[in-house]
Structure 1
Amino acid sequence: MPTVLLLAAFLLVPLPARSASTPTALPTPPVSKALTNPIRPVIRRGTIRINLETLATGLTAPVWGITAPGAPGRLFVVDQPGTLWAVDVVTGAKSVFLDVSLRLVTLGIFGPGSFDERGFLGVAFAPDYQTSGLLYTYTSEPVNGAADFSTIPPAETADHQSVVAEWHVPNPSDSASVVDPGSRRELVRIDKPQFNHNAGALTFGPDGRLYISLGDGGGADDSDGETFISGEPLGGPIVTSGHGLNGNGQNTGVVLGKILRIDPLGSNSANGKYGIPADNPFVGQAGFLGEIFAYGLRNPFRFSFDTLTGAIYAGDVGQNEIEEVDVITSGGNYGWRYKEGRFFFGSNGALAGYVSKVNPGVPAGLIDPVAEYDHSEGLAVIGGFVYRGTRIPRLVGHYVLGDFARTFAADGRLFYLRGRELVQGTRIRGSSIAEFRILNQTALNLALLGFGQDASGEVYVLGNGGGVPFGTTGVILRIAPQS
């Protein structure tokens, strides 16, 4: 999500491995050609009309909702402060399925009540959940020993560590059975340089592999030396570090700025706690980690598989100007920080970065988004799901997404892509993103934090009244047909 807020199947021939020679600085467009809000026309309301039905209230900051295999009657909702809720999709009754709050870093970077991008961010149930009882979580935890992956300079300390862990439910077929709190098995621990750009989505693909999204490590510009938050109450400025000469997104020797693909039951990883599938695109290539499925991403906060086609859609949150939707493919390089959306990006040293139409000489083969919009429309794209329900026939096959907020108020927006059944290479410009017509209220009137999808393919809207991981204004709304 944005720097100051809370904020993958089609195959592609893998890109050639880059040499492990001494890196040189990335090319950058001239600052004199910097652009502001460069995308026209604006996003307009489309022809699809919906109502929003309240399913559940009293949450804090819900960011992700899915069903478990074999349990179609419940939506499992990740609440950022640490609760995994089991929500009845008919009555809306909710109960605690797992509580990881005591494992998390203290939330609120300016203190209680303030924004944060860390927390409990993702969950995925194993495809064989009904027999194995296994599920996986992504959490932001205090630094606790050596990480499996780190970009932190020797004299510095990570802000926190992102952790993927496995848990067990003793009797998955019993709706009263919950996660055994003593069953936790840690798969991987990753140092994060700054508090933001955590991404944090976990999803099993139709291939049975676990896909994990990781942001570029935070700060701004994916570049060392950028002051991105200054002054009290943090005790002074936060200056970006842990990104190296050319940032983490383009560094194929680190996990940050990537989507990873692993076998959680394997053991051929460096730490022996998970497996690296032999058919991953960069296995055995010099200069690449075998876990990498796709790279060149800034903050792919949410991504999902189309349950019909297997296509992977990701909302990658931009920085200065552009929010983008990508169709993620095996081995794909999505450009950050060479590009922001389809525009070229300049990191601008210690000053704020910018976008430009001037190509400074970036490499060929970068994959542009299938849809994008600029910051005249919103602050941070929130990726959702391809609608595969039955209640709104006109919406079937369309990707549902939104934006956290248009301003810094609780004014999130709900969008859909006009095009159906997107395939790699399809190009959809900003004019083909449409805003839903919400009939039973004048606007969303929430900070949009995430989406959910149930076993029937229906889509849910997740948000709260303030955009921060505090309070009890969090709600789950179901996208419903017009009356």
Structure 2
Amino acid sequence: MRGNFAVEGLPIAERIEKGAVSIELETVASGFAAPVDLQISPDGTGRLFVIDQAGKIYLIVNGVLQPALFLDLTNRLVSPLGIIGSHDENDYDERGFLGLAFHPDFANPASPGNQKIYTYTSEPITSPADFTTDPAPASINHQSVIAEWTVAVSDANLIDPNSRREILRIDQPQFNHNGGMLAFGPDGYLYISLGDGGAANDSGDGHGPAGNGQNINTIHGSIVRIDPLDPLTTPDSNDLVAANGKYRIPVDNPFVGLDGIDEIFAHGFRNPFRFSFDSVTGKLIVADVGQNNVEEINIVEREGNYGWNLKEGTFRFDPATGQVSGNLAGLPAELTDPAAEYDHDDGIAVVGGYIYNGTAIPELAGKYVFGDFSRSFAAPAGRLFYADLETGLIQEFIIGADNHELGLYVKGFGVDADGEIYVLASSTLGPYGTGGVVLKIVGL
């Protein structure tokens, strides 16, 4: 499976085959530009919140897409989205509205987290950042911003637009590799995924000689763990108040009191676009998008180093060429390999999903449901997979009685209160148009 080679596209001999699980995809809502995330509010209402990369949160109540937006952040985003800036539906971009999380005490009136949500957005450079790269970039493309919002007192289906409290602002040297996922762990802390800052091979402006993924003195290329509440509302907490005074840092984060950034929980990532926690075991599962060869699914633990840019998957990575080889001699022993991987013969960008803990498809129980963005950027050819993370075996779903192709770009996943999983996809490459859909995975 691994040899002494340095070729593009073929480090893994085995292809992903069709498995035995047949599914159908039920359309829940459509008309989005680029849906990238779906969340539920922890209040028992069953509402679904769809995050559109173009800047909006849509609300689905009892299966019906509501005409009013929960929140519109379009005017806060870097503009125009798209590498070319043409507003064309196939103008690709990795910036935008990327993540949403509800505080676990969202429905607890006695908690400072009551009615609080958190957003991850790509914004223009409007104020000094809390973090930049090491060394600082010669130019900054945009800033990643984490903010807190509060639901309007008068309307449970609307965010108070005046409630915004900025928590964290991070310089990004390039447009890509932003990470963008937000989720609260079973420990009650907010986890944030941050990519290596962009460009390619973790090199160039804003990337030090060793790259950002391996540099614990930059926040890029990491999973961050914080308590996002205003420290003034948590006076009894033993956690550290952040340097900007806007959040707390868990005292058991691995680099607290040591060399390295206190907020980092784990590092060595290229672009951990999506991650999730297993609702049964609590395991943190991070899908890390690869460079030219290998896509990763990692089970992430505190203080873990997941290899980038020394490794891509289980292979040595050469930043000078962007290629991989099987020669692992001399690599640090502490690098953690992925639980599952595949190469670019089967797709070009992993999109992380969720462990299936629903009941509608019993044969999926305990499997990790995820996908790949597309076989190419030129056409919508996304794929839907499920994996056994104990063995690393990845299989592809059979879609429909006719075993048809998905025919869409896969852009995200979501899970509802019953543990059933949703696919977020679009017929268009970029964050424009109306080709985005929310599809529910159901048994055939």
The alignment's TM-score, normalised by the length of structure 1, stands at 0.84
Aligned mates of 2:9, 2:362 — CA distance in 1: 38
Residue range with higher mean Cα deviation, 434-443 or 124-133: 434-443
Which of 174, 178, 181 aligns to 2:158? It is 178
1:439 corresponds in structure 2 to: 400
Q: 1:272 to 1:44 in 2, by over 3 A?
A: same
How far did residue 372 of structure 1 move? 0.4
Cα distance change, pair 47–92 in 1 and its aligned pair in 2 (3 A): farther
Amino acid at match of 1:204: F
2: CA distance, partners of 1:185 / 1:440: 49
Query: Residue 118 of structure 1 contacts residue 196 of structure 1 at CA under 8 Å; is this kept in 2?
Result: yes
Could you say which residue in structure 1 is the equivalent of 2:414? 452
| Residue 290 (structure 2) pairs with residue 313 (structure 1) | no
Give the C-alpha shift of residue 454 in structure 1.
0.7
Q: 1:400 to 1:305 in 2, by over 3 A?
A: same
User: Alignment partner for residue 464 of structure 1, among 394, 409, 426?
Assistant: 426
Paired residue type of 2:384: L
> What SS does structure 2 have at the residue aligned with 1:96?
coil
Q: Aligned partners of 1:356 and 1:214: how far apart in 2?
A: 26
268-277 or 439-448: bigger deviation? 439-448
**Alpha-carbon separation, structure 2, partners of 1:281 and 1:256:** 16
Aligned to 1:84: 57
Tell me the SS of whatever aligns to 1:314: strand
Matched residue SS, 2:286: strand
Q: Secondary structure at the match of 1:73?
A: coil
Cα drift, residue 327 of structure 1:
0.5
Contact 1:47 1:436 in 2 (8 A): yes
In the TM superposition, residue 390 of structure 1 has moved relative to its aligned partner by: 1.3
User: Which one of the candidate residues 180, 203, 218 is aligned to 2:183?
Assistant: 203
Moved more, 210-219 or 151-160: 151-160
Gap regions ≥5 residues in structure 2: 232-240
User: How far does residue 282 in structure 1 lie from its aligned partner after superposition?
Assistant: 1.9
**Structure 1 residues 312 and 468: CA distance shift in structure 2, 3 A:** same
Please tell me whether the aligned partners of residues 81 and 119 of structure 1 are also in contact (alpha carbons under 8 angstroms): yes
Counterpart Cα distance in 2 of 1:138 and 1:280:
21
Displacement of 1:91 in angstroms is: 3.5
User: One-letter code of the match for 1:300?
Assistant: P
State the match for 1:275 in structure 2. Answer: 248
Q: CA deviation at 1:166?
A: 0.2
Alpha-carbon offset, residue 324 of structure 1: 0.7
1:439 deviates by 1.0
Q: Distance in 2 between matches of 1:142 and 1:93?
A: 30
1:108 matches 2:82: yes
CA distance in 1 between partners of 2:245 and 2:37 (Å)? 29
Task: State the match for 1:358 in structure 2.
Answer: 327
Identity across the alignment (%):
53
Distance in 2 (alpha carbons) for counterparts of 1:405 and 1:194: 23
Deviation at 1:156, TM superposition (A): 2.3
* Inter-CA distance 178–200: structure 2 relative to 1 (3 Å threshold): same
CA distance in 2 between counterparts of 1:331 and 1:262 reads: 15
Does residue 147 of structure 1 match 2:129? yes
Give 1:41's aligned amino acid. Answer: E
1:124-168 Cα offsets, whole Å, 9 max, x none, are: 000111131100000000011211001276682210000000000
Distance in 2 of aligned mates of 1:32 and 1:44: 24
The AA in structure 2 aligned to 1:100 is L
Deviations 1:322-365 (A, max 9, x none): 001001111100000010000000011xxx41101012411111
Does residue 165 in structure 1 map to residue 147 in structure 2? yes
Q: Distance in 2 between matches of 1:354 and 1:94?
A: 48
In 2 relative to 1, CA 341–65 (structure 1 residues): closer, same or farther, beyond 3 Å? same
